[in-house]
Structure 1
Amino acid sequence: MSRTLQRLTTYGFVMIGALASIFPLYYMVVGSFQLKADSAFSGLVPRPGNLGLTNYRDVDKAISLLPSLANSAIFTLGTVVLTIVVGLPAGYALARLRFPGKTAVAAGLILVLALPFQVMMIPLYILVVRDYGLADNFLGMILPFAVNATAVLIFRQFFVALPDELFDAAHIDGAGELKTLMLVAAPLTKPAIITASVITFIGPWNEFLWPFLITKKHSMQPLAVSLGEYVSTNAATATNPYGVILAGACVLAVPVIVLFLVAQRYFTSAALGSGVKE
């Protein structure tokens, strides 16, 4: 009886935590469809007569959702691709190669994770804008995020978990390190690639500060920046300001949620793989 009670208590706490986590998302979706803002507790239950797509039309008219989404996609996908191209061989080198300073490099990656981006923002801005002249340029947005320490560590851990016999067999067959990476190791990294891609995707997709600093043309701004500027300047003039803001937030959140749901099973696969060492 006590075990059953303990199990029910555990499930109860889990359900409360899950509901507390989902509630803001639910509130955002319901509020984005409300024609008139209803902040009362009863407003949590949507009334059919107060629902519509007006808020989405208003935010689209104000900031042009499709071009802003396209800018976000270019910025984010460019960052993800460069992160994988750089992170995969870097993780392999840290896991499988022996070279002077290897421990220091791994420690440096952890140190980079501990530093907030704002600490490096001013020197990055001077370097990218003044020295390289990449203001209002997708390359200028992407470069500071092209090397992701988290992705490198994910690949490193994945390669460490692979059996040594796999690499020894490739070396016995005469394969060098590059050939071993491309033909033996890389084809096995699908779970790690997807995990690193999703984690990398979330940062640039939601990033506001760096694109805001480096882009002055509205035609170059990602959705997060366009929505932020709209909230600070024009949202108050809308019929339902909160509804318009929540509609924009929903559009910004949907791609991340869809990507996570599609790739969720690979997180489990990557976690299991990193915990097994033959």
Structure 2
Amino acid sequence: MANQHRVPGQLTRGQAALRSIVLALGALVFLFPFYYMVIGSLQTNPDTSLGGIFPNPANITGENYVAINERINLYSGLLNSGIFAGAVVLGTIVFGILAGYALAVLQWRGRGTTFALALLVQVIPFQLLMIPLYVMIARDYNLGDTHFGMILPYLINSTAVIIFRQYFLQVPKELFDAARIDGAGEMRVLLQVAIPLVRPALVTAILLTFIGPWNEFLWPFLITKEASLQPLAVSLANYISTIASSTANPFGAMLAGAVVLAAPVVVLFIIGQRFFISTDIGSGVKG
């Protein structure tokens, strides 16, 4: 019988099975809070005991979603959150790509200092700048109670600039030089050569940028007083602090609102997660 040699680094069946079990248990632990939130949002009478994990089918209802929608208008909150997060993502991607490309590919005086300043911004908490920003945007620019007033402080994200810079640095410079030799201008090089090769950075920046403003509470709450302009996170917080006690099942209604708030982020991550482990940089370079 021929001897079977195991490839170095290859897991045995037992090791592979153990790894699968550990990963499955880890997935269950991380998914359990979301599962519990969904189950709690569907219960007519809240059951916070351990048995509530497997609820009685007779106790399942969709009334909690109706109840909270009657109080805060989920559609309006989702629309405001979408406008806020979508505009921030768009601004972050556009300015992040342009700045990241300039810092990584172009040669110009002060490039190192500019990158150092982008790193320095990371250590300054936004809460430290919130009051001066509020005075400037609400009083000087008169942008209080507007979507643009919410969006403006988040329009440029230094984290995205750093992410794009690091990815652009990984792209072989020969690709840029070849495009320039063919007569391509710098903007064409960026759009047709650089951006298609850094799709993982693009998706990473979108996901990281989207989650922040989508869940943001403090700045939208500070800059908006009109309920019709407030994102869903602010509307839910107002609901919890003011009118939740008047609801027949405030626990279920709050969880229903939390499910609606979390669902778009989960869907976006499921759609984009495969791009985290893929890259097309190698496809542009011949062996």
Quick check: TM above 0.5? yes
Aligned length: 275
Counterpart contact for 2:45–2:249, Cα < 8 Å: yes
Residue 127 (structure 1) aligned to one of 133, 136, 142 = 136
Letter in 2 for 1:243: G
Q: Give the Cα–Cα distance (whole angstroms) in 1 for the partners of residues 111 and 193 of structure 2.
A: 23
Q: Give the Cα–Cα distance (whole angstroms) in 2 for the partners of residues 181 and 135 of structure 1.
A: 36
**Structure 2 vs 1, CA of residues 205 and 77 (structure 1 numbering), >3 Å: closer, same or farther?**
same
Letter in 2 for 1:206: N
- How much has 1:13 moved relative to structure 2? 4.0
Residue 198 (structure 1) aligned to one of 207, 221, 225 = 207
Residue 219 (structure 2) aligned to one of 168, 188, 210 = 210
Counterpart contact for 2:92–2:156, Cα < 8 Å: yes
Residue 165 (structure 1) aligned to one of 157, 170, 174 = 174
Q: Secondary structure at the match of 2:24?
A: helix
- How much has 1:105 moved relative to structure 2? 2.1
Residue 261 (1) aligns with residue 270 (2): yes
- How much has 1:9 moved relative to structure 2? 5.2
Q: What are structure 1's unaligned runs of at least 5 residues? A: none
Q: Give the Cα–Cα distance (whole angstroms) in 2 for the partners of residues 273 and 38 of structure 1.
A: 52
Q: Give the Cα–Cα distance (whole angstroms) in 1 for the partners of residues 170 and 285 of structure 2.
A: 5
- How much has 1:5 moved relative to structure 2? 6.2
CA RMSD of aligned residues (A): 2.2
- How much has 1:18 moved relative to structure 2? 2.3
- How much has 1:194 moved relative to structure 2? 2.3
**Structure 2 vs 1, CA of residues 240 and 44 (structure 1 numbering), >3 Å: closer, same or farther?**
same
Letter in 2 for 1:233: T
Q: Secondary structure at the match of 2:26?
A: helix
Q: What are structure 2's unaligned runs of at least 5 residues? A: 1-11
Q: Give the Cα–Cα distance (whole angstroms) in 2 for the partners of residues 202 and 223 of structure 1.
A: 13
After TM superposition, the structure 1 = structure 2 runs for residues 94-109 of structure 1, keeping only pairs within 5 Å, are 94-109=103-118
Identity of aligned residues (%): 51
Residue 138 (1) aligns with residue 109 (2): no
Q: Give the Cα–Cα distance (whole angstroms) in 2 for the partners of residues 9 and 265 of structure 1.
A: 24
Q: Give the Cα–Cα distance (whole angstroms) in 2 for the partners of residues 156 and 277 of structure 1.
A: 20
- How much has 1:188 moved relative to structure 2? 3.4
Q: Give the Cα–Cα distance (whole angstroms) in 2 for the partners of residues 77 and 31 of structure 1.
A: 29
Q: Give the Cα–Cα distance (whole angstroms) in 1 for the partners of residues 205 and 236 of structure 2.
A: 27
Residue 48 (structure 1) aligned to one of 31, 48, 57 = 57
The TM-score with structure 2 as length reference comes to 0.89
Residue 188 (1) aligns with residue 230 (2): no
Per the alignment, residue 63 of structure 1 pairs with 72
Q: Give the Cα–Cα distance (whole angstroms) in 2 for the partners of residues 37 and 256 of structure 1.
A: 26
Counterpart contact for 2:72–2:236, Cα < 8 Å: yes
- How much has 1:277 moved relative to structure 2? 9.2
Letter in 1 for 2:109: P
Q: Which has the higher helix share?
A: 1
- Between stretches 31-40 and 161-170, larger displacement belongs to 161-170
Per the alignment, residue 235 of structure 1 pairs with 244
Per the alignment, residue 155 of structure 1 pairs with 164
The TM-score with structure 1 as length reference comes to 0.91
